[in-house]
């Protein structure tokens, strides 16, 4: 066999430690993080058509926060719970990628 100088990594499967190489796709994978329910994130990339709220404002569940234009559809982004707007990260005309934090809220006690 020809000798190959591989930089093996330790890789754990079923509690056993193996020496092996990693694939690029594995190395680039995103670490999973729990979703913060107070962060209103874009579920799809799009453009902000309108912003209806500002920081400090109290908003009831179901009221519109933003109007997002994505894939030729106007989607109303609604307040998930009764609460207060803490931060607004977007303004009219902004283009947002997927999973961007648009609004941060705080649930009412």
Partner 1 sequence: MSLKRNILDLRKRKKEAQLGGGASAIEKQVAMGKKTARERIKAILDENSFHEYDLFVEHTARDFDMEKKVLHGDGVVIGTGTMYNQPVCIYAQDFTVAGGSLGLMHARKITKIMDHALKMRVPIIGINDSGGARIQEGVNSLAGYGEIFYRNTEASGVIPQISVILGPCAGGAVYSPALTDFVFVVENISKMFITGPNVIKTVLGEEISMEELGGAMVHSEITGNAHFYALSEDECFEQIKKLITYIPWNNAKKALKFPVREPNASINIEEIVPADPHHPYDIRDIIKAITDGSEFFEIMENFAKNIVIGFGRIAGNTIGFVANQPLYLAGVLDCDSSDKAARFIRYCDAFNIPIVTLEDMPGYLPGVDQEHAGVIRHGAKLLYAYSEATVPKITVIIRKAYGGGYIAMNSRHLGADFVFAWPTAEIAVMGPEGAANIVFKKEIDEAENPAEMRKLKIQEYKDKFANPFVAASKGYIDEVIEPAETRALLIHSLEVSENKVEKRSYRKHGIPPF
- Site residues for partner 1 per CB under 8 A: 1, 4, 6, 8, 11-26, 29-30, 32, 45, 95, 97-98
Q: Minimal distance in Å, beta carbon 98 to partner 1?
A: 8
Between 18 and 58, name the residue whose CB sits nearer to partner 1: 18
Nearest alpha carbon to residue 74 among 99, 46, 36, 52: 46
The C-alpha atoms of residue 88 and residue 74 are separated, in whole angstroms, by 19
Q: Minimal distance in Å, beta carbon 1 to partner 1?
A: 6
Region for 62 from its dihedrals, namely left if φ exceeds 0, alpha if ψ lies in -120 to 50, beta otherwise: left
Q: Minimal distance in Å, beta carbon 101 to partner 1?
A: 16
């Amino acid at each position: 066999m020809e000798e190959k100088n591989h930089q093996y990594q330790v890789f754990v499967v079923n509690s056993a430690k193996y020496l092996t190489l990693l694939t690029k796709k594995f190395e680039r994978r995103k670490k999973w993080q729990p979703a913060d329910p107070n962060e209103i994130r874009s579920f799809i990339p799009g453009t902000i058509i309108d912003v209806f709220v500002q920081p400090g404002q109290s908003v009831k569940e179901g009221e519109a926060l933003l109007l997002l234009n994505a894939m030729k559809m106007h989607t109303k982004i609604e307040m998930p719970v009764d609460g207060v707007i803490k931060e607004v990260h977007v303004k009219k005309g902004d283009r947002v990628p997927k999973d961007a934090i648009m609004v941060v809220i705080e649930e009412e006690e």
